[in-house]
Every structure is written in C-alpha cells, then in structure tokens.
C-alpha cells in the first residue's frame, strides 16, 4: 500500500517543467549519435565512474553483513539492526539533504558522505567482534548514503547542460538513464561478490561461528571491508579531482546556453 501511494504521489504530484533549453534542443540523431555525445561528455563519465565505484563497494559490504552477524558475532538475530539503521537513516537524511544543500555545496556533502563511510569501515575492521562497535559503524555507513546518491543524481542531471554546451546536443533521456544502469551493474556484481567472499572465508555449508579460525575471519575482513574501503576512497578521489561541475558552474553554463539561443 505504501509503495502504491508513494508511486502515485510522484506520478500525480510532480510536473515536468519546459525551459527554453529543452524546447529548442535539437534531435539527437538516433541512439548511436546519442551515445557518442555521452562519450564526449567528460563530466558525465567522471561522475558515473565515481558513483559506480561507490555502488559496487556498497553492495559488496551490504551483501555480506549477514555473514558477519552469523559467523563472527554469532548473533544472527541481531542482523535486524542492519535493516533498522538503514531505514531510519534514509528517513532522516532524505529531507535533510535539500536543507543542508542550501548552505553547503553538494560537492562537500558528497565528499563528507565518503568520509563518514570510511569511518564506518574502520569501525567494522577494528570492532568486528563487538556488536556495539558494529552498530555504530552501521550508523556511519548508512547515514551518508542518501547524500551520496542525491549528489550523483543532481551532478548527472547538471551534466546534461554541460554536454549541450560542449557538444551542441542535449541528451536528456539517455543521460538520466545512466545512474539506474550503474545501480543495475552494481546489483549484478553483488551475488558474485557475496558468493566469492562466503566461499573464501569458509562461511558455507554446515559451518558455524565455532568453526571460524583467525584466518577465516581475516579473509572475510579483507574482502568485505578492506577492499571496499579502498574502492570508496578511490571513488572520493575521482570525484574530488575530476568532477568540476558545481552549482555556480552549472548556473553559468545555463546562462551561456540561453545567451547563445537568444543570439540565434
């Protein structure tokens, strides 16, 4: 029921705005021309790469948290904490994003979110055997994810005008389909990653927490936390060094496009 209501609220509660830039956009010239224009949009590609790295690291860790509760903490019932923390974090942070973004550039919200996730990973690494530490780590891990996802969506959206200014083509529909495609790619990787981690750490078959050796736990931590942590840091570095579109830059791009259209 809640799903139907929220879908209807979007379908009937939002209205598509028509701007001069959209109204005067030229025909893309077919799928090949559209994807060629996307390939020439460097800002789109850098945002996409940063978000893809984040998404893969996120699903890699999220998918194996159950194994940590079952085989390391030896407390499968406590796994419900993961769902509670993620839901509460989403409910709190989603409405906060536009409020904070009025005072804090979304670039810093994105990078700040990455820093919080790094802290979460460090808590997972040092406190794998401690439920209290793991719970705090979950808070740091899930709190910033709405900020990261929203910033990626808005940055990809802004790259539409960037590409229009750079290439003379407005590839709106294809550009907006990039983030869902990245989520699908990360989701497709999830099952393979989870299975590989479980097998490598010996967390399969009739194994129990009592069967876990120090080597098993170390292997699990490497693939569940250390590697995704490195990927998250790489994601943040890519965004910091390569993504240049800010709110001010986007406003300047829109102004330039409008001036070009007014001049014919």
pLDDT given at position 24: 65
Span 193-229, pLDDT tens digits: 889 999 999 999 889 999 999 999 999 999 999 999 9
Tell me the whole-structure pTM to 2 decimals. Answer: 0.88
Stretch 85-90: mean pLDDT: 94
- What's the pLDDT at 177? 85
CATH, range 47-262: 1.20.1250.20
Taking only the tens place, the pLDDT of each residue in 130-154 is 999 999 999 999 999 999 999 999 9
| Residue of 218, 195, 214 whose CA lies nearest to 205 | 195
Distance of alpha carbon 5 from alpha carbon 10, whole angstroms: 9
Unique residue bearing structure tokens 């292997």: 219
**Predicted pLDDT of residue 258:** 86
Q: How confident is the model at residue 26 (pLDDT cuts 50, 70, 90)?
A: low
According to the model, what pLDDT value does residue 261 have?
A: 80
Q: What is the C-alpha to C-alpha distance for residues 75 and 68, in angstroms, rounded to an integer?
A: 9
Q: In which region does residue 107 sit, left (phi positive, over 0), alpha (psi from -120 to 50) or beta (all else)? A: alpha
- pLDDT value at 35 more than 80: no
CA distance 63 to 209: 18
Residue 50, token pair as written in the block: 């940063």
Token reading at 89: 């974090």
Tens of pLDDT, residues 235-257: 999 999 999 999 999 999 999 98
The phi, psi pair for 81, rounded to 5°, reads -60, -35
The whole-angstrom distance between residue 134's C-alpha and the CA centroid of its chain comes to 21
More confident residue, 173 or 229: 229
The residue among 17, 25, 16, 35 whose CA lies nearest residue 257 is: 25
Q: Confidence band (pLDDT; 50, 70, 90) for 28? A: low
Position 25 scores a pLDDT of 66
pLDDT at 231 over 70: yes
User: Which of 235, 217, 237 lies closest to 126, judged by CA?
Assistant: 217
191, pLDDT greater than 90 = no
Domain ranges within the chain, ordered by starting residue: 47-262
| pLDDT at residue number 16 | 79
Long-range pairs for 254-260: beta carbons < 8 A, 24 or more residues apart = 254/21, 254/161, 256/165, 257/21, 257/161, 257/164, 257/165, 258/20, 258/21
Contact (Cβ atoms closer than 8 angstroms) between residue 143 and residue 91: no
Distances from the Cα of 84 to the Cαs of 135, 142, 176, 190, in angstroms?
10, 10, 30, 21
């Amino acid at each position: 029921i809640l799903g139907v209501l929220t879908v209807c609220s979007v379908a009937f509660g939002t209205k598509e705005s028509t701007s001069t830039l959209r109204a005067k956009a030229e025909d893309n010239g077919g799928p090949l021309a559209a994807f060629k224009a996307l390939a020439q949009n460097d800002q789109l590609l850098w945002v996409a790469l940063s978000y893809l790295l984040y998404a893969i690291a996120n699903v890699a860790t999220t998918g194996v948290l159950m194994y940590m509760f079952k085989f390391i903490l030896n407390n499968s019932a406590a796994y419900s904490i993961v769902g509670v923390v993620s839901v509460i974090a989403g409910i709190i942070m989603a409405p906060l994003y536009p409020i904070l973004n009025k005072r804090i550039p979304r670039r810093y919200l994105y990078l700040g979110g990455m820093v919080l996730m790094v802290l979460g990973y460090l808590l997972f690494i040092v406190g794998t055997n401690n439920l209290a530490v793991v719970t705090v780590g979950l808070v740091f891990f899930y709190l910033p994810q709405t900020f990261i996802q929203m910033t990626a969506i808005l940055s990809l959206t802004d790259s539409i005008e960037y590409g229009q200014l750079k290439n003379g083509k407005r590839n709106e529909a294809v550009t907006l389909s990039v983030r869902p495609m990245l989520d699908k790619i990360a989701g497709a990787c999830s099952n393979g990653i989870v299975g590989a981690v479980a097998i490598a750490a010996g967390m399969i078959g009739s194994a129990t927490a009592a069967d876990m050796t120090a080597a098993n736990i170390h292997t699990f931590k490497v693939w569940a936390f250390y590697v995704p942590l490195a990927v998250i840091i790489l994601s943040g570095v890519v965004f910091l060094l390569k993504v240049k579109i800010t709110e001010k830059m986007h406003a300047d791009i829109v102004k330039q496009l409008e001036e070009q259209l007014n001049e014919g």
